Homo-oligomer: A and B are copies of this chain.
Amino acid sequence: MDWVTTMGYLAGICTTSAFLPQAIKIVKTKHTKDISLMMYSVLTTGIVLWCAYGLINHDWPLVIANAITLLLAGWILILKIRFG
């Protein structure tokens, strides 16, 4: 794997794993008052589009990163709807 692809995966690991502490924080506190519902609605839509764009371009770091981000951001969206 060349260093550019490695950088893509590293970027993906950061922008994906970033959502995990937010999800854990909500699960622990059950508080989502300061979280924007609009943000997670629009974000989830955009991530689905990035997945499709990456699939068409055979850009695997982009596809894998966005697929995992979709799970985490979608989870936060569900928690916001549930606790918000």
A-to-B contact residues, CB < 8 Å:
4, 7-8, 10-22, 25-26, 29, 31-36, 38-43, 45-47, 49-50, 52-53, 56-57, 59, 61-62
How many copies of the polypeptide does the oligomer hold? 2
List 7 additional A-B contacts (Cβ < 8 Å) besides A7-B52, A11-B50, A34-B34. A10-B49, A11-B52, A15-B43, A15-B47, A18-B46, A21-B39, A59-B59
Whether A13 contacts B46 by the Cβ 8 Å rule is yes
Smallest CB gap from A3: residue in B? B56
Smallest CB gap from A47: residue in B? B15
- Whole-angstrom distance between the Cβ of A26 and the nearest chain B Cβ: 7
Whether B4 contacts A56 by the Cβ 8 Å rule is yes
